[in-house]
Amino acid sequence: MFLALAEMRRAKARFGMLIVSIALLVFLILYQQSLRNGLLNSFIGAITTQSAPVLVYSVDGQRVIQGSVITPDAEALVASAEGVGEMGRLAQGTFSVTTSEGAFDASLIGYERPSLGAPETLTEGRLPAGPDEAVASDVDAADGFDIGDVVTVQPGGLEIEVVGLAKDAQLNAGPTLFVTYPTYLDAVVAQNPDAGEPPPNVIALAPADGVSDAELVANVNAQSDDLDALTKDDAARETPGVSQIQSSFLIIFALYALVVPCITGLFFLIVTFQKAAALTLLRAVGAPARRLVGALLIQATAILGLGYLLGVLLYAPVSQQRLGGIALSFETTAVVVWALILGAGGLLSSLFAARRVLRIDPIRATTGAGVGA
Amino acid sequence: MNDRPIALDMRDVRKVYRVGDSDIVALDHATLSVERSEMVALVGPSGSGKTTLCSIAGGILSPTEGRIVVGGEDITGHSESQLTSFRQRKVGFVFQSVNLVPFLTARENLLVVDELGRRTGAAARERADELLDDLGLTDRSKNLPSQLSGGQRQRVAIGRALMNDPELVLFDEPTSALDTELGAQVMELIRSEVTSSNTAAIVVTHDERITDYCDRSVNIVDGKLQAA
Amino acid sequence: MRLALRELVRRPARFVTATLILTVIAILLMFLGGLLDGLIRSTTGAVRAQDADLIVYSDTSQASFLRSRIDPATRAVVEEVPGVFEVGGIGVVQLGARVPGNGPRDLANVALFGYELTPDGVPDPPAPGTAWADEVLRDDGVEEGQTIALGPARSPITVAGFVEDTSYLGQGGLWAEPATWRAVLARNRPDARLGPGVFQALVVRVEGASPGEVAGAIDAATGSTETLTVDAAISELPGVEEQQSTFNQIIGVTVVVALVVIALFFALLTVERTALYGVLKALGARSRTLFLGLVVQAVILTAIASAVGAGMVLVIDRLIPPGSIPLYVAPSRLVLSAVLLVLAAIVGCAFSLRRVLRVDPASALGSSS
């Protein structure tokens, strides 16, 4: 212990640089983890947050709520499918809105039944009780979407009051408002007085007693090739772009996860190489190889720990920021999981250096030839 | 003294190091002349100032006071870069720990000297082969230092020191890492090379046996020179 | 210099680990850059392709084609604004397309444009009922001469040929004459139906005036439009700015990591070589020569890492199934990443400069005495 820490104190710049590079990598990994989760949440948060267990799109909608259109015929086919317990319409559109803070593109989601489409849990406030009320995504509260704020649909000037907030409730990386179906229709008409009643975009379903979500999905899809029923988790996962985001980040994370152990391994290998003479001497005066390897592992642990801590400290303030419509958050699970992955990888790689220490022959101290010779 | 030309002329050289609040005199009014083909043993205990004297004579260190002329060039007031160029042209070193470049072959270790200075190319290659031949290393010229014995490495170092046809060669404990027999062989080789190349040499040692191979010995104690 | 090269050749083993790390970092940089390029390309292609100076939207549309409407009267006003040389209507509808041979639920994402002024690389509008298709639609099985069915109304469109880099918001571009687009829009998106002569936006070519001033003049003349330069219109597409700034930050920090790796590696290497440098300096080597050797080594390592990294990214590009990751590997991106890495290597080396300068040739002579 004494040996390990004394050396680190003496060679501050060297160990400092390693700690900084690990910290930067940890910061990058965690930041991108937040970014990935923020991206996914902001694109599909509303789908997982809403209460309906099964959603039925039109195949033409390509699993985008706004792109899907349910014709009356299709709606009748869904209603006649076996195992349907509850059924309600969902509609969604992007509207230009203004708040006290400025102009925004907001998604309005209109639901017929609160149990099929409203947010499952609220962080604050209540669900709309009447017309022209909404639950908003909580991350947008500061942009004029807080409880009590009034959001105006442009053009047309329909005013909607925010009465509740929900977490992870964004769609399309922008402010999202959950409103009752009639309020949604009002917004459509306010924006375009000539528009007739738009068809619903999606049909929200709950299975009858004794029917599973998957069975209901299969039953609905069997009704027609134009119907695309999905459980809500599948609907989120299958939203265009989601799997691309996930596989892109997977590759990025894998590469970063490779770099950290490589850097630690390289560092200790070189340091061990450099101190070969000193290590040989220590072995000659009776230091057991175990002790020297122990010292090396203590250093590796200390460096990885400090680097990780510094990385998390860099990450913490950044994780509270917003990137355009995407709200980042501090990902505690990611911090823990990556600590384990990088810690294990880093320590494993430093074992390469340990192997070198174990190979040192103390007799060489007497002949003047170090390990490096 | 005879009338052979003077290769090294040091007059009243002082070197004072400032350590903390006190001054340490490493070299105290040292005066030393070495002629071409002459080999001088510089004998003294550890800390007596041998290395300082060699460093100043070889243009690695600048003196605090005094005057140094090597091969007719007064280097007393030389700047660092002038000293660098001076070392390239006029001095050869053989270090205690040999210090060959580990990833270069014996021949390339000689050619390094040419690469560091103004390159002569073919002439340098010819010179290296000639020296390797003189030193009995022709069949070892393509070996890396790790493939050579201690004596062979020391011979390569001697060849490297002579590559630039120096006015002065400085040997720092050239046989300290060798056994008695090998040490004797190396000293004989140094003796003959110094004579044949008509260069001046200072051999730093605290091994009295080495003085037998030299023309004369100079003792150094506490920075002061005394004729042996 | 030659010494540095010889060391690389004779002792490659000691440089392997650092080169491997740099290679992984190079792959990261190029992959991140490729993702950014792919995302931007698939999002902005259609707008970037516009061979025009300005795009005119209606003022409440937040620069979205979908929500913008320009009627013939507004268009007439725009055409009269001084500096306006040519005006063309444009509109788009995003739909799923049924491609012959694909499964009934396996639709291709398309963005059907109706256009008047030809964008870069897109020929004049083809015959009614036909469209030029973007190359990316080949991945969905689209072929020349084929008739695909668009949207819930199954509107038939025959592919007249292929064009490149015209995707819009991740969907493959289809380019048709305005009446074809208007008919498909009306049948598949009745709520977004547009009357004859009405477009979603106008593209404007400017002559003899600055586009910025003409944009202001257009908005002042119509009182109901928001006119943007093409570049500004690209930035206004959803996600473009966020993607660019985020990826560039990540790329920037990754370059800093590369710099630190190089700095660390060469600092350690320099410490290790202190004795050798002392000897070489005693023999007459200048600090400049020794430092230059370091830089040469660093540049060669990063160049090798970049070359291997570029090769790997090209392999990744080949291996990933089309459409699974929006990776676009452009030679310019690979070169830019390599240049960034080499610069980082040079800067990283600079940290060792002080140490090289400080090596004392006197250290070569027995410092014990």
Residue of C260, C271, C316, C354 for testing the chain A interface, max A β-carbons within 10 Å: C260
How far C95 CA sits from the closest chain A CA (Å)?
Answer: 7
- C272 pLDDT higher than 80: no
Rounded Cα–Cα distance for residues C216 and C219 (Å): 5
What torsion do the CA atoms of A94, A100, A102, A107 make, to the nearest 10 degrees? -10
Whether residue B62 lies within 8 A of chain C, CB to CB, comes out as no
How far B137 CA sits from the closest chain C CA (Å)?
Answer: 21
Closest CB to A24 among C60, C253, C263:
C253
What's the sign of the alpha-carbon dihedral A55, A60, A63, A67?
Answer: negative
Cβ–Cβ < 8 Å for C162, C144: yes
Whether residue A28 lies within 8 A of chain C, CB to CB, comes out as yes
Rounded Cα–Cα distance for residues A75 and A11 (Å): 73
- C339 pLDDT higher than 90: yes
Two tokens at C23? Answer: 């290679």
Question: What residues of chain B, 98 to 137, have a C-beta less than 8 Å from chain C?
Answer: 99, 101-104, 108, 112-113, 115-117
How far A69 CA sits from the closest chain C CA (Å)?
Answer: 8
Q: List, as one string, the DSSP characters of B16-85.
A: EEEETTEEEEEEEEEEEEEETT-EEEEE--TTSSHHHHHHHHTTSS--SEEEEEETTEE-TT--HHHHHH
User: In 3D, which of A138, A159, A132, A145 has the Cα closest to residue A101?
Assistant: A145
On chain C, the residues whose CB falls within 8 A of the CB of A63 are: none
Query: How many CB atoms within 10 Å of residue B81?
Result: 11
Which chain C residue lies closest to A258 (C-alpha atoms)?
C24
Whether residue B59 lies within 8 A of chain C, CB to CB, comes out as no
CB contact under 8 A, B81 and C286: yes
Give pLDDT tens digits for B108-140: 999 988 887 777 788 889 999 999 998 889 999
- pLDDT score recorded for residue B115: 82
- Out of B45-49, B101-105, B164-168, C160-164, the most confident range is C160-164
- A269 pLDDT higher than 80: no
Give pLDDT tens digits for C8-22: 888 888 788 788 888
> Of B216-220, C107-111, C320-324, C336-340, which range is least confident?
C320-324
On chain C, the residues whose CB falls within 8 A of the CB of A201 are: none
Which chain A residue lies closest to C32 (C-alpha atoms)?
A252
Residue of C279, C283, C360 for testing the chain B interface, max B β-carbons within 10 Å: C283
pLDDT band at A372, cuts 50/70/90? very low
- pLDDT score recorded for residue C367: 45
pLDDT band at C174, cuts 50/70/90? very high
Whether residue C192 lies within 8 A of chain A, CB to CB, comes out as no
pLDDT band at A365, cuts 50/70/90? low
pLDDT band at C228, cuts 50/70/90? very high
Question: What residues of chain C, 112 to 151, have a C-beta less than 8 Å from chain A?
Answer: 151
Rounded Cα–Cα distance for residues A367 and C260 (Å): 37
Distance (Å) of CA B90 to CA B34, B100, B126, B201, C62:
14, 20, 19, 12, 79
More confident residue, A135 or B180: A135
Return the residue matching tokens 């170092």. Answer: B157
How far B133 CA sits from the closest chain C CA (Å)?
Answer: 22
The β-bridge relationship of strands B168-172 and B200-205 is parallel
- pLDDT score recorded for residue C17: 79
What number of CA atoms fall less than 13 Å from residue C129's CA on the CB side? 4
CB contact under 8 A, C6 and B160: no
- A9 pLDDT higher than 80: no
- A267 pLDDT higher than 90: no
Give pLDDT tens digits for A91-127: 999 888 999 999 888 999 999 999 999 999 899 999 9
What is the 3-class SS of chain A, one letter each residue?
Answer: CHHHHHHHHHCHHHHHHHHHHHHHHHHHHHHHHHHHHHHHHHHHHHHHHECCCEEEEEHHHCCCHHHCCCCHHHHHHHHCCCCEEEEEEEEEEEEEEEECCEEEEEEEEEECCCCCCCECCCCEECCCCCCCEEEEEHHHHHHCCCCCCEEEEECCCEEEEEEEEECCCCECCECEEEEEHHHHHHHHHHHCCCCCCCCCCEEEEEECCCCCHHHHHHHHHHHCCCEEEEEHHHHHHCCCCHHHHHHHHHHHHHHHHHHHHHHHHHHHHHHHHHCHHHHHHHHHCCCCHHHHHHHHHHHHHHHHHHHHHHHHHHHHHHCCCEECCEECCCCHHHHHHHHHHHHHHHHHHHHHHHHHHHCCCCCHHHHCCCCCC
Two tokens at B213? Answer: 């191979």
Two tokens at A116? Answer: 């099929």
Query: How many CB atoms within 10 Å of residue B29?
Result: 14
Q: At what angle do helices A289-318 and A12-49 cross, to 10 degrees?
A: 50
Whether residue C329 lies within 8 A of chain A, CB to CB, comes out as no
Question: What residues of chain A, 206 to 245, have a C-beta less than 8 Å from chain C?
Answer: 225-226, 228, 240-241, 243-244
**C contact chains, 3+ CB pairs < 8 A:** A, B
Whether residue A319 lies within 8 A of chain C, CB to CB, comes out as no
- A368 pLDDT higher than 60: no
Strand order across the beta sheet in which B73-74 lies: B22-35, B6-19, B65-70, B73-74
Please name the amino acid found at residue B59.
Answer: G
pLDDT band at A366, cuts 50/70/90? low
Distance (Å) of CA A6 to CA A1, A122, A351:
8, 54, 21
Closest CB to A248 among C245, C268, C325:
C325
DSSP class of residue C166 equals -
Give pLDDT tens digits for A122-161: 999 999 988 899 999 988 888 999 999 999 998 788 999 9
**Angle C234-C239-C244 (CA atoms, 0-180°, nearest 5)?**
75
CB contact under 8 A, C286 and B103: no
The percent of chain C in helix, strand and coil, each rounded to the nearest 5, is 55, 20, 25
Work out the percent of chain C whose per-residue pLDDT is above 90: 52
Can you tell me the mean pLDDT for C106-123? 93
pLDDT band at A363, cuts 50/70/90? low
pLDDT band at A3, cuts 50/70/90? low
* A57 bridge partner residues: A228
How far A246 CA sits from the closest chain C CA (Å)?
Answer: 9
Residue of C32, C57, C257, C272 for testing the chain A interface, max A β-carbons within 10 Å: C257
pTM of this prediction?
Answer: 0.80
Query: How many CB atoms within 10 Å of residue C40?
Result: 20
Where does B37-59+78-227 sit in CATH, by number? 3.40.50.300
Give pLDDT tens digits for A200-225: 999 999 999 999 999 999 999 999 98
Give pLDDT tens digits for A11-66: 777 788 788 888 988 898 898 889 888 888 888 899 999 999 999 999 988 888 98
pLDDT band at B1, cuts 50/70/90? very low
Rounded Cα–Cα distance for residues A55 and A63 (Å): 10
Q: Please state, rounded to an integer, the average pLDDT across all residues of chain C.
A: 89
Please name the amino acid found at residue B35.
Answer: E
How far C208 CA sits from the closest chain A CA (Å)?
Answer: 34
Question: What residues of chain A, 76 to 135, have a C-beta less than 8 Å from chain C?
Answer: 94, 96, 103, 105
- pLDDT score recorded for residue C369: 32
**A contact chains, 3+ CB pairs < 8 A:** C
Whether residue A20 lies within 8 A of chain C, CB to CB, comes out as yes
- pLDDT score recorded for residue C149: 94
What's the sign of the alpha-carbon dihedral C300, C303, C305, C307?
Answer: negative
Domain boundaries, given as residue ranges, for chain C: 2-43+240-364, 60-223
User: In 3D, which of A69, A259, B52, A370 has the Cα closest to residue C96?
Assistant: A69
| List of residues 6+ apart from C332 with CB closer than 8 A | none
How far C116 CA sits from the closest chain A CA (Å)?
Answer: 26
Task: Label residue A62 left, alpha or beta by phi (over 0 means left) and psi (-120 to 50 means alpha).
Answer: left
Rounded Cα–Cα distance for residues B132 and B140 (Å): 9
Cβ–Cβ < 8 Å for A114, A206: no
- pLDDT score recorded for residue C93: 94
Whether residue A21 lies within 8 A of chain C, CB to CB, comes out as yes
> Of B137-151, B158-172, C234-248, which range is least confident?
C234-248
- Give the DSSP H or E segment for C258: helix C240-272
CB contact under 8 A, A259 and C104: no
Query: How many CB atoms within 10 Å of residue B149?
Result: 11
How far C1 CA sits from the closest chain B CA (Å)?
Answer: 9
CB contact under 8 A, C282 and B87: yes
Can you tell me the mean pLDDT for A172-201? 87
CB contact under 8 A, C369 and B87: no
Return the residue matching tokens 């005119």. Answer: C56
What torsion do the CA atoms of B52, B54, B57, B59 make, to the nearest 10 degrees? -80
ipTM given for this complex: 0.85
On chain A, the residues whose CB falls within 8 A of the CB of C327 are: 248
Give pLDDT tens digits for A285-319: 777 777 778 888 888 888 889 999 999 999 999 88
What is the 3-class SS of A217-283, one letter each residue?
Answer: HHHHHHHCCCEEEEEHHHHHHCCCCHHHHHHHHHHHHHHHHHHHHHHHHHHHHHHHHHCHHHHHHHH
> Omega of the bond prior to A119 within 30 degrees of 0, cis?
no
Q: List, as one string, the DSSP characters of B149-183.
A: -HHHHHHHHHHHHHTT--SEEEEESTTTTS-HHHH
Rounded Cα–Cα distance for residues C111 and A349 (Å): 50
Rounded Cα–Cα distance for residues C106 and C104 (Å): 6
| List of residues 6+ apart from B219 with CB closer than 8 A | B43, B44, B225, B226, B227, B228
| List of residues 6+ apart from B167 with CB closer than 8 A | B7, B8, B36, B70, B71, B90, B91, B199, B200
pLDDT band at A373, cuts 50/70/90? very low
Closest CB to B95 among C2, C286, C364:
C364
Which chain C residue lies closest to B97 (C-alpha atoms)?
C366
The β-bridge relationship of strands A84-99 and A150-154 is antiparallel
How far B3 CA sits from the closest chain C CA (Å)?
Answer: 30
How far C28 CA sits from the closest chain A CA (Å)?
Answer: 6
Q: Is C266 helix (H, G, I), strand (E, B) or coil?
A: helix
Can you tell me the mean pLDDT for A272-277? 71
Rounded Cα–Cα distance for residues A246 and C62 (Å): 29
What torsion do the CA atoms of B78, B84, B85, B89 make, to the nearest 10 degrees? 110
Cβ–Cβ < 8 Å for A246, A37: no
How far B201 CA sits from the closest chain C CA (Å)?
Answer: 15
Rounded Cα–Cα distance for residues C113 and C173 (Å): 7
CB contact under 8 A, B48 and C369: yes
Which chain B residue lies closest to C1 (C-alpha atoms)?
B115
**B contact chains, 3+ CB pairs < 8 A:** C
What's the sign of the alpha-carbon dihedral C167, C172, C178, C184?
Answer: negative
Which chain A residue lies closest to C348 (C-alpha atoms)?
A17
- pLDDT score recorded for residue B176: 79
- A163 pLDDT higher than 50: yes
Rounded Cα–Cα distance for residues A299 and A309 (Å): 15
What's the sign of the alpha-carbon dihedral C22, C23, C24, C27?
Answer: positive
More confident residue, C113 or C104: C113
Closest CB to A323 among C62, C107, C246:
C246
DSSP class of residue C191 equals G
Closest CB to C283 among B81, B116, B172:
B116
On chain A, the residues whose CB falls within 8 A of the CB of C67 are: 94, 96
